[in-house]
Amino acid sequence: MEFLVGHPVRIFTDGFNIVGRWMRLAQGSIRDLVRYGGLPPATDKGFWRLTGLIVITPYHNDERLLNDSETSQEDVRHAYLEPLRQSLEVPIARENAELVCLGQAGVAWAIQQATHWMTTKRLERLIVVAADSYCDPLTLDWLSAYRRLKTPDNPCGLAPGEAGAAFLLEAPASARRRQPEMRLAIDGVATAVEPNHFFTRKPIVGVALSEVLAQTLVTSSTSSFKGDLVSDLNGENWRAREMGNARVRLADHLDESVRVLMPATSVGDTGAASGALSLCVAARAIVRGYARTGQVLVATSSERGHVGALILRKNN
């Protein structure tokens, strides 16, 4: 037994495990979004008929959940997505709910597909929610087996955390009509897959991460980005190497003055929720005025190689 520092959401998730913890965290974040965002009540059928739901989870066949290659996304839909949708206090139709089982990078992949989903389903907006916990016993055993936990004997590890984060993606026409209190624009989003990921045990050189960051930075109004970068760096060596190599490759795009914000230093590693959490941190930095510039860059990567990046800016 070793001493371990973690960041559980006390009381709120006590007594729940795995999917139960996800459910509690997701429900709480969506309720907060509805209240804070001033969204209409469930009786406004017109609004909710045109609103969809995207739920981001860990990989559906991840060994941390004692799943195998035969576990499908339909299993996750049955065990988590449908119970979550039915428990919400707002009427979102089953056919308008989607899953993205890509871990930390799922938020970038969801945003990239959002326009397609809204077009094909004839929706005006999407609630995106991500919830995960690294504080349940199964996950802690899994992290320990790969020596990923920060302990006195392993200082280059992660501190387990848990979180739920939700935000609303809305078509420009709908946002202009509703005039919500907080409006931010996504200038660009890019995704890719890194073949040399954590589980391959091959050198991680950050090629895919540098590519998505470069694609996203093309949309920046300056030749060299000087704003804030919100990253899911968590203390693990492989993530530090990935980001460090990516920054070297992007020397002409990222100014040396870039400030890196790491939510994991405050709340621990929140797994599949970390991408959405980073986006919310970026949004609040812009709205509250402590972002260095009007643009914030968000970078995410998952253990199995999926990476993503996006730029958030103030919508004047």
Domain 19-178 shares a fold with domain 184-314: yes
Compute how many other C-beta atoms are within 10 angstroms of the C-beta atom of residue 140.
17
pLDDT at 19: 94
Q: Model-level pTM?
A: 0.94
Q: Which residues contact residue 77 at a Cβ distance below 8 angstroms, ignoring those fewer than 6 apart?
A: 99
pLDDT at 109: 96
pLDDT at 310: 96
pLDDT at 113: 92
- Sketch the domain layout of the chain as residue ranges: 19-178, 184-314
- The single-letter code of the amino acid at 5 is V
CATH 3.40.47.10 is held by the domain 184-314: yes
pLDDT at 180: 80
Q: Which CATH class is domain 19-178?
A: alpha beta
pLDDT at 308: 97
The parts of the chain modelled with pLDDT lower than 50 are none
217: closest CA among 193, 253, 246? Answer: 253
Q: Which residues contact residue 244 at a Cβ distance below 8 angstroms, ignoring those fewer than 6 apart?
A: 206
pLDDT at 3: 79
Q: What is the DSSP string of the chain?
A: ------B--TTTSTT--THHHHHHHHHHHHHHHHHHTTPPPTT-HHHHHTEEEEEE-S-TT-GGGT--TT--HHHHIIIIIHHHHHHSSS---GGGEEEE--GGGHHHHHHHHHHHHHHHHT-SEEEEEEEEES-SHHHHHHHHHTT-B-BTTBSSSB-BBEEEEEEEEE-HHHHHHH--S--EEEEEEEEEE-SS-GGGTS----HHHHHHHHHHHTTSSSSSB-SEEEE---S-HHHHHHHHHHHHHTTTTB-TTPEEE-THHHH-B-GGGHHHHHHHHHHHHHHHT-SSSSEEEEEEE-TTSEEEEEEEEE--
